[in-house]
Amino acid sequence: MPSVKQVQITFDCASPTRVAQFWCEVLGYVLPPPPEGFATWGDHQLSLPPEKRDAGAVCQDPSGVGPRMYFQRVPEGKVVKNRVHLCVRVGTGLVGDERLAALEAECARLLPLGAVRVRLLLADEENESCLVMQDVEGNEFCLD
Is the separation of the CB atoms in 88 and 106 below 8 Å? yes
Is a pLDDT exceeding 90 seen at residue 83? no
Letter for the amino acid at 129? S
pLDDT of res. 4: 67
pLDDT of res. 1: 67
For the chain, give every domain's residue range.
Answer: 8-73, 86-143
Rounded CA separation 125/99 (Å): 16
Strand 130-134 to 116-121 pairing: antiparallel
Is a pLDDT exceeding 90 seen at residue 88? yes
What distance separates the 2 farthest-apart alpha carbons in the chain? 56
Which alpha helices (DSSP H) does the chain contain, by range?
Answer: 16-27, 41-46, 96-110
**Model confidence pLDDT, tens digit, residues 41-81:** 989 999 999 999 999 999 999 999 999 999 999 988 888 87
Strands (E), the chain: 8-13, 56-59, 68-73, 86-88, 116-121, 130-134, 140-143
